[in-house]
Structure 1
Amino acid sequence: MTAPIAADLGVSTANEAWILGTYSMVFAATLLFAGRLADLYAPHRIYTIGFIGLAVFYLIISFMTDQYAFFFLRAVSALLAVWTIPSSINMIIQMYPEPAEQAKKLALFGMASTLANTVALVLAGVFLLASWMWYFRFITIIIGPFSVLAWFIMPRTQAVAEDLPGSEKWKRMDLGGVAILIACLVLFILGFTQASISGWNSALFIAPLVISVVLLPAFVIWEQKMPHDYSLLPHEVWKFPNIFPLILQASAIFMWFACAQLRIATYFQVALHDSAILAAVKLMPMGITALVVGTISQAMPWLITKPRFVQPVASALCFAGSMLFAFSNGGADVDYWKFMFTGQVIGTAGGMIVFIGMNTSIIQALTLQYAGVGGSFANIIFQVGAVVGIAVQSGLLGTGDGTIQDWVGSKNSYFFTGAYIMLTGLIFLVWFRQSKAPQHAGPVVAPP
């Protein structure tokens, strides 16, 4: 919906990136803070407050005619939406303490997000027949009643720090660490967002990137200096078994999905002159495959719990999907069924296994009192991977004639994403040790 929104609000081509960027930047930057809230306060309340707030602000956004008000309200809506993610994960961990069942429920949660991401494309195409504003109103119509019901019927869950006084909870919020991390992530995402607009040699890319790189070790040092149980991340997080192969593999999957969906949807509309709804329908194989694979993971939990050999195979499927996209020449006419359709099915099958496997493994790798933070930590890695991937994909347009109509730049971007996820899969095969994975003999839930 970027182009219609830009046209209606008078957003210049150079600033179109902020239609997506204001939301994604705030969402990624505040994930760990939201995770900390879900650990310190009752997660079902954190969830419902974010859910209700999202409904209210999406309704307000749907009436905006000023671009700056739109950008600001999108940022606020992201701040509220992010409250629903770690709190959901925290509630799942509390409601399903048995390890195998917990892993299956976390897989369902991951499947829902991937499926919704594809369905949203179709819904956006439908509502563009009227106006992009009606998409936001529709989301409010869906969320509004359910968010009110959630306030009353959501299962009551306890915070890890339930018995602590309010002043002590504020001390454990680690607001200093939150501020450093937000600055680091905002500048990192800002730099890569501007790279595709201003160029890789521009100050708008280099300066934020350099500052963010400096802030990252500053954040790590700050966290180590904080007293135990008062830091945003556990002190020993970098020593957890398998944490580095998990992070590397997790960094690849949203990169793969974002680059596949965004470029293909844009190419269909700009180069092939498909309508928005037709472009979305042509991407439906991703959503259907995500649903099928997610369902299969419930009957075959070893796809999640035994990642040593499963993840490299899933990465190879993603690589195969990327190669089919690369050689599709844009997927016009019969090439859609030969390359695009097949690539979506094969690639998404692997991508879903990578996503739900990494989401579950990272959450269960962190200590139990950091359940909310664990979910946030995984999602930050996913989001950063997507931002970097989209920036690189935009930059690779220059390897062709610089326009999206020329498939050469897109082809090279699929070589990049395919190679990256294949590399992370091979590193995972060599580095990950199943014997070092957490073995939970009893309920996997943080004690109140």
Structure 2
Amino acid sequence: MSSEQIEEKSVDRTSAAASPVVDVALPSGLRRYTILFVLCLAQFIDSYNNTAIVTAIPPISQDLSISNSESVWLLSGYQITLAAFLLSSGRLSDLYSPKWIFVVGTLLMSFCALGAGFVRSEIPLVVLRAFMGIGAAMNIPSAMSLIIKLFPEPAAQSQALAAFVFISGVGNVLGLIMGALFVSFANWTWVFYFATITAFIAVIAILLLLPSSANLEDAKTEEDYKRKLLRLDPIGVSSMTIALILFVFAVTSGSIRGWDTAQVIAPLVLSIVLIIFFGFWETRMPVGFAAIPLSMWRYPDFTILIIVSLYPFMWWASVQMLLSWLYQEVYGWSTIIAAVHFLPLGLVSFVMVVVSSALQRRFPLKLVILLGQVLALAGSVILPFASSKERYWSFTFPGFVLGSAGTVIIFTTTNIALFTITPPEVAGVVGAIYTCALQIGSTAGPAIVTSIQTSVQITHGGPGGFAGRAAGFWFLFAFGVAEMVGVLVFMHHKVPPKSTGGQVA
């Protein structure tokens, strides 16, 4: 398919046949699903690394003499590099073998997690966490690209992608509980050792199950090595990577040092300038050489779906952040008891992924997303009233159930919709943009909520009060309302139920 054809591609399944992907023998059914399990395992570890550290931060800070304000970088170091390097790794996965991008990224994560378990100094630990984020950024788009090539049939592909996305949400929720278990019954180092062992097993399994990636690569072209390097768009990718690093750094620093400081304003302004430069640069690049071609944003509903993708991880991360400190420091609950009270978030996810898949087969995806948003708003509007531990069952529990149910529906359905409206040859970049939106939400949301909480609690109850946290929950509600209005106004009914049509990349 020429680059002009890619740009002008309509959203019907017939164009998928024009893709340069050759019809080659795929692994057997059992092997394919075993590979899917391994890819989902790696996705679980990526998400686990994002939340398991939350319960480990207090003992790590105590052992390594890290101040409370600086300990946030143990979490943000991973999130910054994960969000920043997704675009470049997605581009690599589209142009080169996704198998080897996955292997290198997962090995990098495994070895850095091993080092993180041994170091006893703040700076090296934060650096290793940052490199773990780069590893995760490499294996997420490459895993999505492998899934798309392993499951070319639309129905099977939708189910495989839904499973992959679902595992990410499960990892975010269960990571908190598993981290608490390691801290309570072993040592905080096992938070890292578990990631080391599991990621290494995933690499070995992929090497054994996919001894050669030749049967999953696109047909050979006449492009020489230099031309492929140019197609990586190094200037565009570098500018966007630096912009994302500066943006996440500014947002994280804003919640610690205040939004009116030079340490926040300078990187925030620079990130905006670089994003504008990136947009200008991409318009100057020939079609097929741009990291994010302008044609990507012309696919129906692509932009609104990316905006909606900000919400699921923002909601989960903000809820856990607002309540975990309250449970342990104010209510006096142990780490494991606090984690158990978050368990409904994970248990609901297991049920709702099945419900979500059933809904996606029967109704237009716009209506499914709207249903998820209604449930998420219902949960968010209840949580501001969960002001004491006596109100857990009457307010917190139903808020967890409704909110988590809604965000799971949003999470899985936006993923399916995005791959439905885009061609398979840009799957790596689409996966990277989608995951980047999720990670920006998980970083920016808690930072904004923390700033709101801090501002309110100065005059209303202090750190041990609930007024600041209630204000944070109201922000989540307001943000959800804005996104729901966006879906109602800007999303079309062109994405059908996943079993009846449309291209599933």
For normalisation by structure 2, the TM-score amounts to 0.83
Counterpart for residue 296 of structure 2: 237
Alignment partner, residue 351 of structure 1: 407
Which AA in structure 2 matches 1:94? K
> The residue matched to 1:434 in structure 2 has which SS?
coil
Indicate which of 174, 179, 182 corresponds to 2:241: 182
What secondary structure sits across from 2:118 in the alignment? coil
Sort the Cα spacing of 1:112 and 1:191 in 2 relative to 1 into closer, same or farther, 3 A: same
1:43 corresponds in structure 2 to: 98
User: Structure 2 CA distance, aligned partners of 1:300 and 1:106?
Assistant: 15
Compared CA separation, residues 352 and 76, structure 1 to 2 (3 A): same
Unaligned runs of 5+ in 2: 1-55
Matches within 5 A, 1:30-69: 30-69=85-124
For residues 243-278 of structure 1, give each alpha carbon's deviation from its aligned partner in whole angstroms, at most 9, with x where no partner exists.
232122112222111111222222211211111111
Code of the residue aligned with 1:416 in structure 2: it is: F
The residue number in structure 2 matching 1:140 is: 196
Decide which moves more: 352-361 or 21-30: 352-361
Q: Determine helix, strand or coil for the equivalent of 1:131.
A: coil
Q: CA deviation at 1:54?
A: 1.6
1:401 paired to 2:458: yes
Asked whether the equivalents of residues 256 and 421 of structure 1 are also in contact (C-alpha less than 8 Å), the reply is no
Separation in 2, partners of 1:379, 1:162: 29
Give the secondary-structure state (helix, strand or coil) at the position aligned to 1:361: helix
Instruction: Please say if 1:377 is aligned against 2:433.
Output: yes
The residue aligned with 1:315 is 373
The answer on 1:2 being equivalent to 2:57 is yes
2:352 counterpart of 1:293? yes
SS at 1:435's partner residue?
A: coil
Q: Please state how far the C-alpha of 1:344 moved relative to its aligned partner.
A: 1.0
Cα distance in 1 between the residues matched to 2:139 and 2:491: 30
Amino acid at match of 1:70: L
Aligned to 1:73: 128
Alpha-carbon shift at residue 146 of structure 1 (Å)? 2.9
Question: How far, CA to CA, are the matches of 2:251 and 2:481 in structure 1?
Answer: 23
Note if 1:112 corresponds to 2:171: no
Match of 1:128 in 2: 183
In structure 2, what is the Cα distance between the partners aligned to 1:59 and 1:312?
42
For the Cα contact (< 8 Å) 2:108–2:135, is it kept in 1? yes
Task: State the Cα distance separating 1:443 from its structure 2 match.
Answer: 7.0
Q: Percent identity?
A: 31
Structure 1 residue 125, shift from structure 2 partner: 0.6
Larger displacement relative to structure 2 (279-288 or 249-258): 249-258
Residue 62 of structure 1 aligns to a residue in which SS?
Answer: helix
Distance (whole Å) between structure 1 residues aligned to residue 296 and residue 384 of structure 2: 38
| 400-409 vs 339-348, which moves further | 400-409
Q: Distance in 2 between matches of 1:358 and 1:283?
A: 25
1:212 to 271, 286, 310: 271
Write the deviation string for residues 287-322 of structure 1: whole angstroms up to 9, x where unpaired: 11111111233444337x722222222112111111
User: Which of 80, 83, 100 is the aligned partner of 2:155?
Assistant: 100
Aligned residues: 442
Of the structure 1 ranges 125-134 and 432-441, higher mean CA displacement relative to structure 2 is found in: 432-441
- Contact residue 77 and residue 126 of structure 2 kept, 8 A: yes
Query: Equivalent residue for 1:266?
Result: 325
Say if 1:310 and 1:12 are closer, same or farther in 2 by CA, change over 3 A: same
Structure 2 vs 1, CA of residues 384 and 443 (structure 1 numbering), >3 Å: closer, same or farther? closer
Letter aligned with residue 308 of structure 1: K
Q: Report the alpha carbon displacement of residue 141 of structure 1 after superposing the two structures with TM.
A: 2.3
User: Contact 2:113 / 2:195 at 8 angstroms: preserved in 1?
Assistant: yes
Match runs of 1:275-290 below 5 Å? 275-290=334-349
Tell me the equivalent position of 1:248. 307
The corresponding residue for 1:327 is 385
Contact 2:254 2:264 in 1 (8 A): yes
Query: CA contact under 8 A between 1:46 and 1:83: conserved in structure 2?
Result: yes
Q: After superposition, give the CA deviation of every residue in 1:7-59 in whole Å (9 maximum; x if it has no partner).
A: 22222223122111111000000001110111111112211222222222211
CA contact 1:39–1:159 (8 Å) conserved in 2: no
Task: Return the offset for 1:412.
Answer: 0.6
Quick check: 1:59–1:140 contact (8 Å CA) kept in 2?
A: yes
Aligned-pair Cα RMSD in Å: 2.1
Amino acid at match of 2:375: L
Cα-to-partner distance string for 1:143-192 (whole Å, 9 max, x where unaligned): 22232121121384534475443322211111111110011101111111
Aligned-partner residue type, residue 377 of structure 2: F
Partner residue, 1:84: 139
In 2, Cα distance between the equivalents of 1:77 and 1:161?
Answer: 32
How far did residue 202 of structure 1 move? 1.2
Measure the CA separation in 2 of the matches of 1:369 and 1:10.
48
Partner amino acid for 2:319? A
Question: One-letter code of the match for 1:325?
Answer: L
Offset at residue 374 of structure 1 (A):
0.3
Name the counterpart of 2:40: none
2:80 maps to a residue whose letter is M
